[in-house]
Structure 1
Amino acid sequence: MTNERRVLVHPDKQNLGASVAARFITKIIDVIEEQDYASVVLSGGSVSTLVLAAINRSEARDSVDWSKVSFWWADERFVADGDDERNDKQNGIDLLDHIGVLPENVHRMANTSQAASLAEAATQYQAELKAHAQGDDESPRFDITLLGVGPDGHVASLFPDKPQVLQTSPTVLTIDDSPKPPPERLTLSLPAINNSQRVWLILAGAEKAASLGLALAGAGEDQVPVAGVKGRKRTVFFVDKDAAAEVPEQLIASTY
């Protein structure tokens, strides 16, 4: 496990989305060639609107054998199926509804029709993660996890100064007082996120610069949750020029 971290800076938001999409397609093809399947973790917000939509627009989209790709979620809002607040709904609009992914390979977190309570929904997803885990792991070793980062440094639904940030178990945590609506959410724990081979964090805009700078300067994850994200092989921050304003120059990589 190298825990290598890199920061790749792009001139603007549009270039950022297109670049991550191109790298994603290339890497997924490589992973499938190596092991005949690939697992991907999705989240909402900027990741969906920037990256997934760019993957869908790419001329290379159909070069991926999507039937060999499974999709999971880093977090989800515990609301009704089809609610506009659901990450999986937006992810579907941006990408999943347009590719040949198999229904059994789409591992959604439960909505309010599928679980009687937030706790039950968490237990269901924990069991699903465990069923697809390698060896004694509690969750799969995901190949690529795509995460956005909030202006406060939150990732998935792990928010600053909330107890969930420091919880190491179970793999799926409940939040009933999210500082961003809706209040009830499910989220992977940091250890579950960090069981990914590669974590790609996508940040755009000047409002993200302070959190990124703090995370790379060694801030604690309780204050800046993104600081606690470390993929098993690699952690890459894909950022636009505005978000990179407070990144030390020596941490900026010229290539992937």
Structure 2
Amino acid sequence: MTNERRVLVHPDKQALAGSVAARFITKTLDILDDLGSANIVLTGGSMGSGVLAAVNESAARDTLDWSRIHFWWGDERWLPAGDAERNDQQAFDALLSHIDIPAGNIHQFPASDGPLDLDQAADSYAAELAAHAEEGAELPRLDITFLGVGPDGHIASLFPHRSGIQVNDRTVIAVRDSPKPPAERLSLTRPVLNHSDRVWMVLAGSDKAPALGLALAGASRDEVPVGGIKGRKRTVFFVDRDAAAEVPEALIAPSY
């Protein structure tokens, strides 16, 4: 299997969310059949939640054995548990509270109203990742990692011209200088994202087109962090027509 970035274009946000949801169910069924379990990394934002809501609305939702699926997050806002702006709360609202999944399969980042400070929270999540890895490894197998892409090209909470995108000696970092509020966040690092077998980036809107075009044209990860992300087996950009405006025609795939 070649590992190259491909772009799948959809007519609008609704079609985009529905298509990604269907592919998620189909691919996760395959992963469960082949490997017995699945580790999925979730993202926030309107499209991240939209895909999960489309999974929840799918007639095929309960063909998945949710007890064999573990959910993680690429990043989280340092806010109190249950805050509507937290990525995990958005995921619960869209999907997780509607399915039969063991609480131990849902790996949330610590919250700001808990007993840990920001640095301790980063260490705690790193330890949880390691606890689910094979012996001697720092990370579990990551089967599908969902990522959104900001208009500036940021992914997770790794932003342009910030040190986070350059960190390669930690799996989880505390972020204190996010240009998007809140300033304090937790994030997986680039090596963890690139450890994923499949990276699925879901983005919509004309404001995302310049960053996507730059990333696919080879812009540096420091300038456009998404340019430094590539899954080990496959990297796919699922986009709507507006976000695809600056994508080279040769990279647009007619099908998966």
TM-score, with structure 2 as normaliser? 0.97
Could you tell me which amino acid in structure 2 is paired with residue 50 of structure 1? G
User: What runs of 5+ residues in structure 1 fail to find an aligned partner?
Assistant: none
> How far apart, in 2, do the equivalents of 1:200 and 1:115 lie?
33
Aligned mates of 1:47, 1:114 — CA distance in 2: 28
SS at match of 1:156: coil
Q: In the TM superposition, what is the alpha-carbon distance from 1:133 to its structure 2 partner?
A: 1.8
In the TM superposition, structure 1's runs of 4+ consecutive aligned residues that sit over 6 Å from their partners are: none
Per the alignment, residue 25 of structure 2 pairs with: 25
Match of 2:252 in 1: 252
Instruction: Please state if 1:141 is matched with 2:141.
Output: yes
- 1:74-117 per-residue CA deviation (whole Å, 9 max, x = no partner) reads 00011111112211001100010011111111111101233431
The 3-state SS of whatever aligns with 1:81 is coil
Give the superposition deviation at 1:138. 1.8
Task: Give the corresponding residue for 1:69.
Answer: 69
Are positions 1:109 and 2:112 aligned together?
A: no
Check whether the contact 1:46–1:148 (CA below 8 A) recurs between aligned residues. no
Report matched runs for 1:87-102 at 5 Å. Answer: 87-102=87-102
Aligned sequence identity (%): 59
- Tell me, in whole angstroms, the C-alpha distance in 2 between the residues paired with 1:47 and 1:186: 20
Match of 1:220 in 2: 220
Deviations 1:1-47 (A, max 9, x none): 84321110111111000000000000001100111111100011033
* 2: CA distance, partners of 1:115 / 1:155: 28
Shift of 1:135: 4.9
Match of 1:185? 185
Q: TM-score under structure 1 normalisation?
A: 0.97
CA distance in 1, matches of 2:215, 2:176: 26
CA distance in 2, matches of 1:46, 1:134: 34
1:218-243 CA deviation, whole Å, 9 max, x = no partner?
A: 00010101111100100000001110
Partner of 1:211: 211
Q: What is the distance in 1 between the residues matched to 2:222 and 2:187? A: 16
Partner residue of 1:8?
A: 8
**Counterpart position of 1:161:** 161
Q: Is the 8 A contact 2:47 2:202 kept in 1?
A: yes
Letter in 2 for 1:217: A
Structure 2 letter corresponding to 1:207 = D
Distance 2:160 2:223 in 1: 5
CA distance in 2, matches of 1:127, 1:236: 29
Paired residues of 2:50 and 2:94 also in contact (CA < 8 A): no
Match of 1:173 in 2: 173
Q: Paired residues, what number? A: 256
Unaligned runs of 5+ in 2: none
